[in-house]
Chain A
Amino acid sequence: MTTTSDQTRQGGAPAAGDRQVQPAGAGEAQPATPSGTSGGPSGTVSLTFAKALTYAMEDALAADASVVVFGEDVGTLGGVFRITDGLTKRFGEERCFDTPLAESGIMGMAVGMAMNGMRPVVEMQFDAFAYPAFEQVVSHVAKMPNRTKGRVKLPLVIRIPYAGGIGGVEHHCDSSEAYYVHTPGLTVLAPATVADAYTMLRDAIACPDPVVFLEPKKLYFSKEQVDLDALRARYASKAAGGGPQQPASSIGKAVIARAGTDATLIAYGPSVPTALAAAEAAALEGRSLQVIDVRSLVPFDDETVCAAVRGTGRAVVIAEAPGFASVAAEIVARVQERCFHSLAAPVRRVTGFDIPYPAPKLEHHYLPGVDRILDVVDELQWEDQ
């Protein structure tokens, strides 16, 4: 099969939808720059994951007048994690605004706004605080396009600060991805790098379908050197009308985060840095571990993941969520079905335990860590070689 996931979705990622609009008063207050990018830093800079998300929204707001950002505390405060910092100040309260404290209300209103030409980007303040919106997400966000045979598109993004490792109290650390990936109609993304935080959020906002965008909280303040101009340039061409060569979307596309030959670690979101740390430790012991960053949970990139596992013959899937009936379980099943004859050992999982997310003083026992990953790697039947 030669079709790549880029080809799968790139056609469906225009800068604006069929029903793009110009909110009244938006134009004169905040003219979009010709390139569709914002002020702020440029060139290669040291950037946090959080700031990359802010720039992604800022640039999308500048490039497309139909983009609106709303949720709890996202206006004046800039969000409890400051991800929407400065957006209300720059774009005004019509483009980035606080809502009453009601998640189903936020989600349902986003559905209606998307029906009527807008591209809402909503923030659910924490993973577990998104549950009141679950009916809207499952019964309407996911189903409306299919219900109407594609006549109603819902180009909206649901940003969810998610997962643990931050010492948060109960209801602030859930890995809730399984609920969303099990719902056909949702695109579910989980970036793990600063560059992907920018790129994938821009791609999510440009996507004609609803996207659940899972932001690993523990990575918010991780820093990387990134070339912001290069990241922005991909979208600048789209804002200028694009050429025949639309850049490929990151949606549906896994990446190899670290090359390796002995076994493949498959991770996403918050478990990617853990997997990379495990690969680094394994290298010191003379074992070469490849790391795949899945990035896009739905659509899932079977091709990249399975090609990688066929190359090494061994695989371990790493995820924070409880392992039972999880994304990790699905990946194990898919790899085993497709790579059986290339495997030297059963595909294994290192996941959270099947328990409610623990209290801060106990979470280190729960989270998949380097030692637990390497213990499982050691069990991959190396003696049979």
Chain B
Amino acid sequence: MSTHTEGSVRPEDYLLPSSQPVQLIDTAGTVTTDPGYKERYELPSAAELLHGYEQLVVGRRVNDQASALVRQGRMAVYPSSHGQEACQVAAALCLAEGDWLFPTYRDTVAVMARGVDPVEVMELLRGSWHSGYDPYEHNVATQSTPLATQLLHAVGVAHAAKLKGEDTVVVALCGDGATSEGDFHEALNFAAVFHVPVVFFVQNNQYAISVPLIHQSVAPSLAHKAIGYGMPGERVDGNDLAALLAVLAHAVGRARDGGGPSLIEAHTYRMQSHTNADDASRYRADDEVKQWVPRDPLLRLKSYLSGAGLLAAEEEQRITAEAERVAAVLRDGLNAEVQVDPQDLFRFVYSQPTPQLREQAAMLHEELSREATSSEGAQP
């Protein structure tokens, strides 16, 4: 803790982030000593870390399986969070039942870790509908591609919960690029002014497609932006699941206790291209990527758990089997031909289709009936 005279707490003391990103387990898998972070962050329990590790392994498998399915033509595109799985898993695990998660398009692993059906999640990316799951089933908002717009929806959900007297907490995800959007600013400001329980969790993976962070912001860190809105900021090693769980738990608990919003920046790295349609070699050197390989979130936690004697061989086999099971669910679901109903085009635009939409639905129906009749006629 920074020292200050009794009775003279300055806003800087609790709004600025710690002087370095919070890390509880280093890249070698060793527990670090607290260099004086602004809060006391406890190492999560062995059970929490073991459960988190399982989710990391599943998440990595999901990322790699999804990328493979794109190569096989089963999905249109997949923005992989390979290398960011610790952030993904922590964002899901820090929430209680009834809390809300607002993900981006790169947060598929977090959405699944929250319990959403893997094949339903992929409807967006396989192209059968713009969103495939019921947001109310697990309180997970839709993934969509406009940047930072969902942060305001998160503020609205939290504001409604507060008015209703519910103790819901909302975790809202975005990337480093999205911090340049106006809606990022408006969301943080609204959340602070209305003092609502939102934790803004920025995965700073260093790139917005091709543009490195230095072209987004010259702030000391993205977490420093928090003080401008009057909320606490914190930065955390985004590849250290233990630190992420501790920092997010603190922020979520604070929000739930009426302490208002906060901003957390996780330092991580997008190990692969923006999507399968991107070529990262056009804008970053292999050497840079290689520096992040030893910082891998799975390796680190595995080293810690193994070193502490917490990861028995049969446990690891079970986890691997679980990851394979989820991958098989994805493969089976996406290899099956998806059924789409053309009349769905008109069903959900309004609660009751307008007369004009009913006419257009009838027109399409007639077109399809004609096609079906003529193709039947063409049969020998």
Chain A interface residues toward B at CB < 8 A: 3, 5, 8-9, 11-12, 21-26, 68, 94, 99-100, 102, 104-105, 107-118, 120, 132, 135-136, 139-140, 143-153, 184-185, 187, 208-209, 252, 298-300, 302-303
Contacts and interface: CB of A to CB of B under 8 A. Distances in A.
B7 interface: no
B154 interface: yes
B270 to A, nearest CB: 24
A294 to B, nearest CB: 14
Given A105-B190, A108-B152, A108-B183, A113 B159 contact: yes
B1 interface: no
Given A109-B159, A112-B154, A100 B146 contact: no
A135 B146 contact: yes
B26 interface: no
Given A3-B355, A8-B355, A148 B157 contact: no
A9 B189 contact: no
B180 to A, nearest CB: 14
B115 to A, nearest CB: 16
A214 B196 CA distance: 31
B134 A24 contact: no
Interface in B90-124: none
A332 B313 CA distance: 75
Contacts of B348: 145-146, 148-150
A22 B164 contact: yes
A112 B135 CA distance: 12
A150 B135 CA distance: 11
Contact of B163 (A5, A100, A118): A118
Given A23-B163, A24-B165, A115-B160, 4 more contacts: A12-B352, A105-B189, A115-B141, A148-B135
Nearest to B350: A209
Contacts, number: 162
A112 B158 CA distance: 8
Contacts of B165: 23-25
B149 A136 contact: yes
Nearest to A136: B149
B163 A114 contact: no
Question: 5 closest pairs, A vs B, by CB?
Answer: A112-B156, A108-B152, A24-B165, A105-B186, A116-B160
Contacts of B160: 21, 112-113, 115-118
Question: Main SS of the interface on chain B?
Answer: helix
A365 to B, nearest CB: 35
Contacts of B350: 12, 145, 185, 187, 209, 299
B374 interface: no
Interface size class of B (residues with CB under 8 A): 35 or more
Nearest to A9: B352
A298 B350 CA distance: 11
A92 B182 CA distance: 30
Given A105-B190, A108-B155, A113-B157, A303 B347 contact: no
A364 to B, nearest CB: 36
A184 B346 CA distance: 10
A111 B354 contact: no
A149 B356 contact: no
Contacts of B182: 102, 104, 132
Interface in B137-187: 141-142, 144, 146, 149, 151-161, 163-165, 182-183, 186-187
B155 A100 contact: no
B372 interface: no
Contacts of B352: 8-9, 11-12
Contacts of B156: 108-116, 120
B154 A299 contact: no
Contact of B186 (A104, A139, A150): A104
B164 A105 contact: no
Contact of A302 (B157, B193, B351, B356): B356
Contact of B351 (A22, A110, A113, A208): A208
B164 A146 contact: no
A117 B163 CA distance: 11
Given A109-B190, A146-B130, A117 B153 contact: no
A24 B163 contact: yes
Nearest to B353: A8
Contacts of B190: 99-100, 102, 105, 109
23 contacts: A5-B355, A11-B352, A21-B163, A23-B165, A105-B152, A108-B151, A108-B187, A109-B152, A115-B153, A118-B160, A118-B163, A135-B149, A140-B149, A145-B351, A146-B348, A146-B349, A148-B135, A150-B348, A151-B134, A151-B136, A153-B351, A208-B351, A300-B354
Given A105-B189, A148-B135, A300-B356, A112 B163 contact: no
